[in-house]
Structure 1
Amino acid sequence: MSQRLSGIPLSPGIAIGPAWWLETPVATTGHSDIPRNPETERARLEAAREQAKRELAAILADQQHALPPESLAILEAQQLMLDDPDLLQHVTAAIHAGQSASDAWRSATDAIAAQLSALPDPYFQARAADVRDIQQRVLRCLGGVAEEAVYPTTPHVLLADDLVPSQTVTLPLDRILGIALVGGGPTSHATILARARGLPAVAGLGRALHMIAPETLVILDGDRGEIIVNPDEATLVEARAQQAAWHAAQKAAAATAAEPGQLADGTRIEIAANIGSAADARAAVQAGAEGVGLLRTEFLYLDRVTPPSTEEQFAIYQEIFTLLEGRPVVVRTFDIGGDKPAPYLSLPPEANPFLGVRAIRLARQQPALLDTQLDALLRTGYPTLRIMFPMVATIAEIHWLRERVDAAIARLTSQGLTPPPGLQIGMMVEIPAAALLAEHFAAVVDFFSIGTNDLAQYTLAADRTNPAVAALADALHPAVLRLIQHVVSAAHPAGRWVGVCGELAGDPVAAPILVGLGIDELSMAPAAIPAVKAVLRQWTRDAAEHLAQEALRQESAEAVRQLVQAMMPHR
Structure 2
Amino acid sequence: MQIYKGKSVFGGTAIGRIRVYSKGEQQVKRVRIEDTQRETARYHEATKQAMEQLAELYEKALKEVGEANAAIFEIHQMMLEDDDYRESVENIISTQKVNAEYAVAQTADNFAQMFASMDDDYMRERAADVRDISERLLSILHGKAEQGILADEPAIIVADDLAPSETVQLDKEMVLSFVTVRGSVNSHTAILARTMSIPALIGTELSLDADIDGKMGIVDGTNGTFYVDPDPETLDRMRKIQQEENEKKELLQTLKGKENITLDGKKIMLYANIGNMKDLATVLQNDAGGIGLFRSEFIYLEKDQFPTEEEQFQIYRTVAETMAGKRVIIRTLDIGADKQCDYFEMAKEENPAMGCRAIRICLTRPEIFKTQLRALLRASAFGKIAIMYPMITSVAEVRRIKEIVNEVEEELSSQGIAYGRPEQGIMIETPAAVMISDMLAEEVDFFSIGTNDLTQYALAIDRQNPSLDEFYDAHHPAVLRMIEMVVENAHKAGIWAGICGELGADLELTQKFLAMGVDELSVSPGRILPIRKIVLETDVEAYKAGNTGV
| Secondary structure at 2:388 match in 1 | strand
Aligned partner of 2:13 in structure 1 is: 65
Give the distance between the partners of 1:62 and 1:328, measured in 2 at CA.
22
1:352 to 2:347 alignment: no
The structure-2 alpha-carbon separation of the partners of 1:341 and 1:498, relative to structure 1 and needing over 3 Å to count, comes to: closer
- 1:6-32 Cα shifts (integer Å, max 9, x gaps): xxxxxxxxxxxxxxxxxxxxxxxxxxx
Distance across 1 between alignment mates of 2:328 and 2:10: 33
- The question of 1:257 aligning with 2:205 is answered no
Partner residue, 1:377: 376
Secondary structure of the corresponding residue to residue 305 of structure 2 = coil
- 1:463 and 2:459 correspond: no
* Match of residue 427 from structure 2: 428
**Which residue in the other structure is 1:291 paired with?**
290
Calculate the TM-score normalised by the size of structure 1.
0.53
Query: What's the secondary structure of 1:274's corresponding residue?
Result: strand
Cα distance, 1:460 vs structure 2: 1.5
Task: Give the superposition deviation at 1:517.
Answer: 0.6
The CA deviation at 1:466 is: 2.2
Aligned partner of 1:235 in structure 2 is none
**Contact 1:272/1:290, CA 8 A, preserved across alignment:** yes
Q: Is 1:275 aligned to 2:274, yes or no? A: yes
Residue 489 of structure 2 corresponds to: 490
The 2-side partners of 1:290 and 1:393 are apart by: 29
Secondary structure at 2:5 match in 1: helix
How much does 1:467 deviate?
A: 2.2
Q: How does 1:527-546 map to 2 (within 5 A)?
A: 527-546=526-545
Q: Tell me if the contact between 1:275 and 1:292 (Cα under 8 Å) persists in the aligned partners.
A: yes
1:431/1:458 contact within 8 Å kept: yes
Aligned AA for 2:385?
Answer: L
Q: Against the structure 1 CA distance between its residues 516 and 62, is the aligned structure 2 distance closer, same or farther, given a 3 Å change threshold?
A: closer
- Aligned equivalent of 1:520: 519
Deviation at 1:341, TM superposition (A): 3.9
User: Identity of paired residues, percent?
Assistant: 37
Counterpart Cα distance in 2 of 1:255 and 1:56: 35
- How do 1:91-106 and structure 2 match up within 5 A? none
Q: Distance in 2 between matches of 1:314 and 1:256?
A: 34
Structure showing greater Rg: 2
Once the two structures are TM-superposed, the CA of residue 319 in structure 1 deviates from its matched residue by 1.3
State the match for 1:22 in structure 2.
none
Give the CA deviation at 1:326: 0.6
Q: 1:489 to 1:280 in 2, by over 3 A?
A: same
State the alpha-carbon separation in 1 of the partners of residues 268 and 514 from structure 2. Answer: 8
Whether 1:503 and 2:451 are equivalent positions in the alignment is no
User: What is the Cα deviation at residue 453 of structure 1?
Assistant: 1.3
TM-score w.r.t. the length of structure 2 is: 0.55
Distance 2:400 2:507 in 1: 38
Distance 1:323 1:387 in 2: 17
Quote the Cα distance in structure 1 between the aligned partners of 2:334 and 2:546: 34
Q: CA RMSD in A?
A: 3.5
Structure 1 residues 115-514: aligned runs within 5 Å: 252=251, 255-337=254-336, 339-380=338-379, 381-421=381-421, 423-514=422-513
The CA distance in 2 between the partners of 1:347 and 1:326, in whole Å, is 38
Residue 340 of structure 1, CA deviation? 4.0
1:261 deviation in Å? 1.2
Distance 2:338 2:247 in 1: 45
Hey, what's the Cα distance between the residues in 1 that align with 2:304 and 2:247? 50
> In the TM superposition, what is the alpha-carbon distance from 1:344 to its structure 2 partner?
2.5
Q: Secondary structure at the match of 2:537?
A: coil
For the 8 Å contact 1:258–1:287, the answer to whether it is kept is: no
Task: Tell me the amino acid that sits aligned with residue 372 of structure 1.
Answer: T
- On the 8 A contact 1:517/1:548 being kept in 2, the answer is no
- Distance 1:253-1:267 versus aligned 2 partners, 3 A rule: farther
Q: C-alpha offsets along residues 493-552 of structure 1, whole Å, 9 cap, x if unaligned?
A: 1101001001121222211111111110111111011110001111123134446643x1
Tell me if the contact between 2:273 and 2:522 (Cα under 8 Å) persists in the aligned partners. Answer: yes
Moved more, 275-284 or 319-328: 275-284
Do the aligned residues in 2 keep the contact of 1:463 with 1:470 (CA within 8 Å)? Answer: no
Cα distance change, pair 375–520 in 1 and its aligned pair in 2 (3 A): same
* 1:363 Cα offset (Å): 1.0
Give SS of 2:530's match. Answer: helix
Q: Which residue of 1 aligns with 2:218?
A: none
**Using a 3 Å threshold, how does the CA distance of structure 1 residues 305 and 290 change in structure 2: closer, same or farther?**
same
Partner amino acid, structure 2, of 1:426: G
In structure 2, distance between residues paired with 1:288 and 1:518: 22
Equivalents in 2 of 1:495, 1:265: separation in Å? 22
Aligned partners of 1:450 and 1:499 also within 8 Å:
yes
**Deviation (angstroms), 1:383:** 4.3
